[in-house]
Structure formats: structure tokens, C-alpha cells
Structure 1
Amino acid sequence: MSFKIRNSKKLPEVKTVTQPETELRPPDGGWGWAVCFAAFMTNFTITGITSSNGVILLALLDLYNESISKTSIIGSIMTGGSMFGGPFTLVLLACKASHRQVIMFAGIVSSASAIASAFVPNVEMLILTYGALGGLSLAGAFFSANVVLGCYFTTKRALALGIGYSGAGCGAIALPYLTEKSISYYGMRGTFFLIAGLFLNLNVYGALCRPLKPVIKQRFKIPESRRNSSDEKGSVTNLGFIPEDEIISDTQSEKSVPSSEYIIEKIEEIPNTLQMRRLSAFSEKTPSDFGELKSIFAHRSMYTNKYFYLLLFTFLFWAVGDSLFIYYPSYAESVGLNREQGALVVSVFGAIFTLSQIMAGILVDFLHIQTIYLFSALLFSMCLSIAFIPYCQTFATVVLDAAIISMSYSCGITLRIVMIASVLGVEKMSAGYSILSSMIGIGYIVYPLITGIVYDMTRSFAFVFNLDAAFVSVGILLSFGLVYAQKKGKFYN
């Protein structure tokens, strides 16, 4: 590798400090805002459709005339699969696929699964096509879109991620109501084609997530006397390196050098060859081979931490809140509300869902409320609100109770990554969060199935919601163990 030198004079005083290194340089803006739009729309589409599972459930019950427990498996597997898909996505990335390729592949597979779902003759096939295949493919798009967004920003990362994640709440507000309107006009089979069109747009969003351009960086040491001997501008630019304002002096350098010398960096873009495109598929925190992927889960102390298991099972019982997305429209219809009002209840659930996540961050970061204490209080609030659902017989009371449940449940989504860092430490956060997501995915699949079976046996939503409240109460008891550990100083700050 040779560098272009604009000054033809020999420069024997310039010494190499480091060997050339290949790295990715986030633009921190520019095309990154197009990637931010892609992440926003990906979250809008995926979360909006999964939030519509309750509305779709009613249509599928009319279409196939099956039991509610059997039909609810479709939506529960789709939602749970979105939590289990993270590890599969990491494997694709370890095989040198780019985030763009993963998102576009997910768009094709999920669109094909929705089209196939329009022609299946029974619920069993629909569980396979729309539930399992659709859920796992959407997980890849969801994971990659949010990861690649973080790769494009540094100082503005929090803002960009906040904008991107807000698409989930917007989708949860808009799509359940629009899905109900589509079902009433086109029927469920026709709506599957519209859903396929939404999923196919993931290819457009994926195409916007182009890989970062890799650059070669090398650091040089240049004596002050040589720097002063350059031409009339007196700038190292004349030596073919970088502009004057990017010079790193001895006080800025990580290495100690004599005060009469300066450290400068040479940054040069390299051709976007196949090898470099593979490099740009990864962020600094994404595993680039199977050995590194294995090392993420190799923290042995994590598996001997009893408080980690306590946290896992606490969130397993917390996950019962997601099943309410599926059963709220059915309950609304059972108390005399129409299906459009049932869809509006889910939209309100989604609106509070978005605002509550911001509120949780304010309570923890600005009011300095302990995360464990806040989570335990939210579980208690969610338990009481679920138990109160059978007493809500009007649209206003159903909406009010749904808003309280949504606030209590959605704050846990924001707090779970913070609690993992508190229990395990930052260095084990990635592995711990992957395991926690899988545990939550189990809850997303199991609870709708259990509550559906109970409803088929009792034909009573009151019994179903009381059972859900009992599950959450077990989570409250487990959270007391975390509160005790927090008081004893067992966690990281």
C-alpha cells in the first residue's frame, strides 16, 4: 500500500507509528438519515402487523370456525418467533451476509408466506406459513434494521435510534385499525395480499441500508521541524495527509511522543471489493465469525448467577401482557362493542405503548428511580389492571384499563436491557439479552395458548384474565428477590 504525496520532496523524517488498519467510518448523518427512515418504516410494519393479531384472530375464527385456543397459536407463534429470530440472524451475519441482504431476504420470505396464507385451507397450515415462517423472517429484518442504524451514527446515535424505534409505536397505533377496515372490505384472504405488499416493501427499506464504506487508517509521526519546512501554507496537507484541523498533537495522542513531534492520521477510502463489502456488513459489536459468535455466550459466571435466573423467570411471567394484544378485540366484542371499537382499543394500547417507553427513560435517567423498584411497582400495577378487566363493560372503561396495562407493560420493554446490565454487567449484556429475549419468546407463545385453552373450557373471559393476573402475581413475588438483592448491593451500578 502506497500513499500519494503531493510534495515531491523526500520525507525521511516521517515515521510510521502504526500498521495500516481497515475500519468502518460512520458518517453520523448524511445517508444515515435515509437508513433512519428505513429503520422507522421497518419497525412500523413489523410491530404494526404483530399488534394486529387480535383483529386478525376474529377474522380467522369466522373464516375457519376453529377453537380460539387453536387459532390464537398463529399470532402467538408469529410474535414469539420475532424474539427467537435474533440468534438465527447472528448466524447469517457470521456467514458474511450484510444487514441489507438479511432485510431484503426477510422481505421476500415474509411476503411469500403472507401470499401463501391467502390460499391455505386450514389453521394448521396457517400456523406454519403465517405464524412460524412469517415470524422468523420478520425477526431478521427487525434485528438488522435497528443494528445497521446504530452503525451509521456516533454522536447522534441516541437521536437516530429514538426516531427509528418510534416507528414501532406508530405502527401499533395505525395498522390494527387499518387492518380491521381492510378485513371488513376485502375479507381476510384479500387482507393477506395487502399484508404481503407491506412485507414486500421491506426490500425497499433494506435497499436503503447500504453497507458503510471501509477505509484504511494509518498513523504517522512527523517532526515539528519538517512540518514547518513545508511550503507557504505550512500545512501537512501538502504532505498528502489530512487537513490541519485533524492533526493530533502529542497531548491528544494515545501514545507519548516528544513535544517536538506530531501524530497525524492518513485516512483513505479503498475500493468496495467483495471482501470489503463483507467487512462492511458488520458493526464493531457484531460477530464476524463463528468463533467470535461462540465467545459471546461463553461467560461461565453468567450461568452461575442465581439473580440472572431470577430475572429470567420474572420476565417470563411479565410476558403475559403481550397476550392481551390478541384477546382484547375478542373481549371487546363479548361485552357488546363492535369490531371497529375493538381495533381502536388496540390502537390506544399502541399509543400508550410508545409514550410509556419514553416515560420509563425519564423516570430512571432524570428522576433516578432504581430500575428494580420501578419494575416491581409496574408489575403490581399491571396485575391489578388485568384483574379489573372483567369489570370494564363500556368502551370508555375498556380503553382506560387498556391504557394502564399498556403503560405498565411497555415500561418493562425499556427497562429489561437496563436490568440485564445491572445484574450481569455491561460486558455480558449481549449474551444475557439474547437469552432473556428467548425466554420472553417462550412466554409470547405459551400464554396465548394457555389462555385460549382455558377460554374454550370455561367460555369465560373473566376466568382467563384472572388467570393472567395470577401469572403476573408470581412475577411480582420473584421481583421481590431482585429488590432484596438490590438493597444488599449485589448488582452493578
Structure 2
Amino acid sequence: MPDVKTVTEPEMELRPPDGGWGWAVCFAAFMTNFTITGITSTSGVILLGLLDLYNESISKTSLVGSIIAGGTMFGGPLALPLMACKTSHRQVIMLAGIVSSASAVASAFTPNVETLIVTYGVLVGLSLAGAFFSANVILGYYFTTKRALALGIANSGAGVGAIVLPYLTEKSISYYGMRGTFLLIAGLFLNLNVYGALCRPLKPVIKQRFKISESRRNSSLERKSVTNLGFIPEDEIISDAQSEKSVPSSEYIEEIEEIPNTLRMRRLSAFSEKTPSNFGELKSTFADRSMFKNKYFYLLLFTFLFWAVCDSLMIYYPAYAESVGLSREQGALVVSVFGAVCTVSQISTGILVDVLHIPNIYLFSASIFTMCLSIAFIPYCQTFATVVLDATIISMSYSCGTALRIVMVATVLGVEKMSAGYSILSSMIGIGYTVYPLITGIVYDRTRSFAFVFSLDAAFVSVGIILSFGLVYAQKKGKFYN
């Protein structure tokens, strides 16, 4: 092919199918979120069981739930070094299933809260972090135009888990005790190996740029009608669509090649020596310093840090329900209602963004404002009906932020920095998930007043509202990628 000359080295890229096997990955992410978030949402129910078992203070015992919730988000970057060693998302999820299951078994035999904080809080939390991070990130790679919808469906699994698992955990504690419940949770974690197996790595393609001569460009339209009889190697044929696209406006053409072909595998192997593992993005969280120069990324990080206050409600809702005269079963039902609303709201958020094209930053800012008002209103809810109503509104607002986390990272930083950016955002949220329940527990031990606690939480969220207005202004000015 003498009149076609390569002008650039081949580039590797991932081409999302926007469907197909992506829906199987969506199911795996759905079930992973069901398991992980469902278990973390049982922290309030488990807190009451641990208080009966160990008879420790509420601030100390609540560390078990807060650390597992925080570790699930904070440990996200731990998956990146594994991927830099060419470990796939699938392998990370399956490894997390094995480690978390073994840690939950060990938790069934712990003699005190301090040991339980390590086995169930730290070990389970950090291992689940890799699965949670990997399942959601690989799903983001499988979709482009339907990304918010797919992530909304996957994140709704967290809501389903929050519906089912708190109530089942309460029943399990009443029948089998706290130690027997840990063994059942260990069996639940083993299912992560099944979900991980569905997360097939996305096949990369090679993109190569060619320069064509004047005679080749003039004759390219004629070549569209010529049938290849075997005299020209298939690897050197340029498709009709590529020729037609390149002829009118450019002297360059691009050839996109899928990997499985043996010849192309040799080309990929030769090129991979010059290419960082996992296309450079996953080699290190901090390798690309450009995102740390983006002031709007910092704004996003601190907005979600204050948004994370809402997770402490999942831990203290059952205790608050008991303090106003409701039963433990009703307290577990409140958490289940919270999860049920999350299920619907996650999908609705995806529809609002992808179908109705509401800017995700605007939607998030409105949701965090509503969440703040609802948290401040909790102390005035004294009956089961009012507690459920307020929890419903909070859940709708909270699930909006949950569904848009990855989407907002892609909006602010671009898709190519999505994994690294989301890992840092997960760490920031994990800090909030860990710190706020501890602060809440200490404040409650000192004041014995949930009214003061929830007012303090609302004050934290109000700071997030102010920061979110900065994101709204930036999007209005066109500072983001999409």
C-alpha cells in the first residue's frame, strides 16, 4: 500500500458498547451494591445488637459501623495499585469476596469491641472498598450516552439492599444472636465472587492514523465498488466508511482495529512496551497532576465531604426511633423504607439526566439543599409515620448524590480521568462516613440529645450547599467537559 503512509504510532483506547454485555456488568454492579451498601445500611441494627452483647458506650460501639462504611469508600484507591499491576476489575472484586468473607467469620468469635473494629470494621470495610470501586468504575467504561442511566440502575441495588438486609438482619439477630449473624453475613460476601466473574474486562482497540496521497484520495470513492478477491491483505484494506469520511475534508484517515486477530495482537504486544499498564490512567492515583490543578475538582471533593453527613443517619435512625418510643423492628423498617426510596430515586435520577437532560450539577445542588432541611426537621418527628415521611425525603435527596458521583467526576475532569478522580472522591466521602458517626456518638454521649445531634448534622450539610453553588456557577459558565 505505497500511497498510504503511517504518520503516528498506534494508540490504544476503550470503545464502550453502550449496551450488550454492558447490561450483564450492570447486573453485577447492581448486586455488588446490593451486598455492600445493604450490609453497611444494617449498621444501625447491628449497633443495637452490639450494645447488648458488649455493653459499651454508643460512641465506641458505633465505630464498628462507621469504619466499615468509611472504609468502603476510603479504600477505593487501594484498587488502583492492583490494577497498575495489570489486575483486572474482575479479579479485584473476587479477591474482595474472599477476604471480606474470612474477616466476617473471624468477627463471629471476637471477644470485645476493639477486636471487632479491626476484623469487621477495618478488614471487611477495606476489602469491600475494592469491590465497590471496581464494580462501579468498570460499568462507567461500558457506557457513554447511557452512563447515568446504567449507573442509576446499578446504584439502585444499594437501595434494594437497604430495603431487605436491615429487616433480615434484625430477624437474624433475634433468632441466631449477633455471632450467628456474622456467619450469615460471611456467606453473603462469598457471592461477590459470582458478581465479579460477570465483570469481563472491556476489549481495547488499536487506533492508527494514516496519511494518503493525492491519487489515493481521488480514487478512494471508486474503491468502494471494488470487491476484494484476496490479492490485497485484509489488514491493509480501509473500510468504505473510513474512506468516505476522510476523502472530502482531510488527507488523513484512521484505522480502528479490534484486538483478537493474531497479527494485531503482535502489533499490540510491540506497542505495549511503550504504553503504561492499563492505558496509564490506573497506574497511580496521583500520576496525573493536572486534576490537582483543577480548582473545581477540589470544590467537588469538599462538597461531597459535607454531603457524607447523611450516612450517619443510617447508623442512628434505629436508636432515634427507639428513643421516641418506637420498637426496634419499626426502627429497622425506617431504614428499609430509606432503602426502598433509594431504589426508585437512583433510577429516576438517571432518567432525569439522560432522558430529560437536566444538568447533573443543578440536580445535585437542589438535592443537597432539600436534604439539609429534612435533617433539621428530624427532631420534630415523634411518630412512626412522620419519621418515615422525613426519611423518605432525605432518601430521595441522598440517592441523587449517590447516583451522580461518578457522572459528576466525569463532568468536572473528563472521562479519561474518571477512575483516578473517583478514587480520590471515594476517599473523601470515606473520611466523612468515618468521622461523622464518631462525632455524632460523642455529642450524643455528652448531651443525650438527638435534637442537638441532628441540628449539628444539618449545619455541616449547609456548608456543602454553599460549595455546591460554586459548582452550579462553574457549569453555567461552561467550565466543565460536558
Aligned residue identity for 1:289: K
1:99-114 equivalent positions in 2, closer than 5 A: 99-114=89-104
What is the aligned counterpart of 1:77 among 67, 80, 84? 67
Q: Which residue of 2 aligns with 1:3?
A: none
| 1:225-264 alignment runs, 5 A limit | 234-235=227-228, 239=232, 241=234, 247-253=240-246, 256=250
Q: Distance in 2 between matches of 1:376 and 1:249?
A: 43
* CA–CA separation in structure 2 for the residues paired with 1:225 and 1:439: 55
Task: Find the counterpart in structure 2 of residue 435 from structure 1.
Answer: 424
Q: Paired residue for 1:203?
A: 193
Contact preservation (8 Å) 1:297, 1:431: no
Matched, 1:413 2:419: no
Structure 2 residue corresponding to 1:140, chosen from 130, 134, 142: 130
Mapped partners of 2:307, 2:448: distance in 1 = 25
Distance 1:337 1:165 in 2: 30
Query: Residues 286 and 338 from structure 1, CA distance in 2 versus in 1: closer, same or farther, beyond 3 angstroms?
Result: farther
Q: Secondary structure at the match of 2:244?
A: coil
Determine if contact 2:48/2:319 at 8 Å carries over to the other structure: yes
How far apart in 2 are the matches of 1:160 and 1:310? 26
Mapped partners of 2:84, 2:32: distance in 1: 22
Whether the aligned pair in 1 keeps the contact of 2:25 and 2:198 (CA below 8 Å) is yes
In the alignment, is the contact (CA less than 8 A) between 2:59 and 2:442 conserved in 1? yes
Give how far 1:40 is off.
2.0
Q: CA separation in 1, counterparts of 2:221 and 2:142?
A: 39
The Cα of 1:349 is off from its aligned counterpart by 0.6
Instruction: Give the Å deviation of 1:268.
Output: 6.0
Closer, same or farther: CA 203–238 of 1 in aligned 2, 3 Å: farther
| 8 Å contact from structure 1 (residues 247, 265) kept in 2 | no
SS at match of 2:25: helix
Question: 2:450, 2:378 → 1: CA distance?
Answer: 9
**Structure-2 change in CA distance of 1:213 and 1:331 (3 Å):** same
The match for 2:172 among 170, 182, 195 is 182
Distance 1:238-1:268 versus aligned 2 partners, 3 A rule: farther
1:452 equivalent to 2:441? Answer: yes
- The answer to whether the 8 A contact 1:247-1:263 is kept is no
Asked if the contact 1:148–1:283 (Cα under 8 Å) also holds between the matched residues in 2, the reply is no
Paired position in structure 2 for 1:353 = 342
Q: Who is 2:120 aligned against?
A: 130
> Do the aligned partners of residues 294 and 184 (structure 1) sit closer, same or farther apart at CA in structure 2, a change above 3 Å counting?
same
How far apart are 1:457 and its partner, in Å?
Answer: 2.0
- C-alpha deviation, 1:114, in angstroms: 0.4
Helix, strand or coil for the counterpart of 2:281? coil
Which residue pairs with 2:87 in the alignment? 97
- In the superposition, relative to structure 1, how do residues 466 and 430 fare at CA in structure 2: closer, same or farther (>3 Å)? same
Cα distance in 2, alignment partners of residues 370 and 151 from structure 1: 21
Q: What SS does the corresponding residue of 1:269 show, helix, strand or coil? A: coil
Q: Percent identity?
A: 72
How far has the Cα of 1:382 moved from its partner?
A: 2.3
Q: So what's the TM-score if we normalise by structure 2?
A: 0.81
TM-aligned CA deviation for residue 392 of structure 1: 1.7
Indicate the residue corresponding to 1:391 in structure 2.
Answer: 380
Match of 1:289 in 2: 283
The superposition leaves residues 392-433 of structure 1 with CA deviations (integer Å, 9 ceiling, x where unpaired) of: 222111100111111222223345556556666777665554
CA displacement at 1:162 relative to structure 2 = 4.1
Distance in 1 (CA, whole Å) between partners of 2:393 and 2:159 is 16
Aligned pair partner of 2:260 in 269, 272, 276: 269
Distance 1:285 1:347, change over 3 A: farther
The offset of 1:479, in angstroms, is 4.7
Residue 454 of structure 1: how far off its partner (Å): 1.6
Cα 1:60–1:145 change in 2 (3 A) is: same
TM-score (norm 1): 0.80
Cα distance, 1:206 vs structure 2: 1.7
- What's the secondary structure of 1:252's corresponding residue? helix
Contact 1:42/1:141 (CA < 8 Å) preserved in 2?
Answer: yes
CA separation in 1, counterparts of 2:426 and 2:120?
A: 21
Kindly indicate whether the alpha-carbon contact (under 8 Å) linking 1:151 and 1:283 is maintained by their aligned counterparts in 2. Answer: no
Q: Which letter does structure 1 place at the counterpart of 2:109? A: F
Q: Given the superposition, is the C-alpha separation of residues 301 and 35 from structure 1 closer, same or farther in structure 2, using an over 3 Å criterion?
A: closer
Q: Tell me what 1:5 maps to.
A: none
Residues 53 and 325 in structure 1, CA contact (< 8 A), matched pair in contact too: yes
2:148 and 2:350 in contact (8 A); partners too: no
Distance 1:369 1:393 in 2: 36
What is the CA RMSD across the aligned residues, in angstroms? Answer: 3.9
Where structure 1 has 5 or more consecutive residues not aligned to the other structure, the ranges are 1-11
The Cα shift of 1:178 comes to 1.5
Query: Which amino acid in 2 is paired with 1:187?
Result: G
Say whether 1:315 aligns with 2:315. Answer: no
* C-alpha displacement of 1:65: 0.8
Q: Compared with structure 1, are the counterparts of its residues 430 and 459 closer, same or farther at alpha carbon in structure 2 (3 Å cutoff)? A: same
**Larger deviation: 431-440 or 119-128?**
431-440
Aligned with residue 62 of structure 1, among 48, 52, 71: 52
Within a 5 Å distance, the mapping from 1:290-305 to structure 2 comes to: 290=284, 293-299=285-291, 301-302=293-294, 305=295
Deviations 1:46-86 (A, max 9, x none): 11111111111111111111111101111111111111122
Q: Return the alpha-carbon distance in structure 1 between the equivalents of residues 333 and 309 of structure 2.
A: 21
**Aligned partner letter, 1:466:** S
From the superposition, tell whether residues 416 and 155 of structure 1 become closer, same or farther in structure 2 (CA, over 3 Å). Answer: closer
CA distance in 2 between counterparts of 1:313 and 1:205 reads 32
In structure 1, the residue corresponding to 2:245 is in which secondary structure? coil
State whether structure 2 residue 36 is matched by structure 1 residue 46: yes
- 8 Å Cα contact 1:390-1:461 kept in structure 2: yes
Specify every segment of 5 or more residues in structure 2 that has no aligned partner in the other structure, as ranges.
none
Whole-angstrom CA distance in 1 between matches of 2:404 and 2:205: 37
Aligned 8 A contact 1:94 1:289 in 2: yes
Q: Which residue of 2 aligns with 1:6?
A: none
Against the structure 1 CA distance between its residues 195 and 242, is the aligned structure 2 distance closer, same or farther, given a 3 Å change threshold?
same
The alpha-carbon deviation at position 389 of structure 1 amounts to 1.7
Secondary structure of the corresponding residue to residue 251 of structure 1: helix
The alignment partner of 1:440 has SS state of helix
* Separation in 1, partners of 2:472, 2:146: 34
Distance in 2 of aligned mates of 1:170 and 1:197 = 18
- Distance in 2 separating the partners of 1:441 and 1:476: 19
Which one is further off, 414-423 or 184-193?
Answer: 414-423
Structure 2 CA distance for partners of 1:247 and 1:457, relative to 1, 3 Å = same
- Point out the structure with max Rg over C-alpha: 1
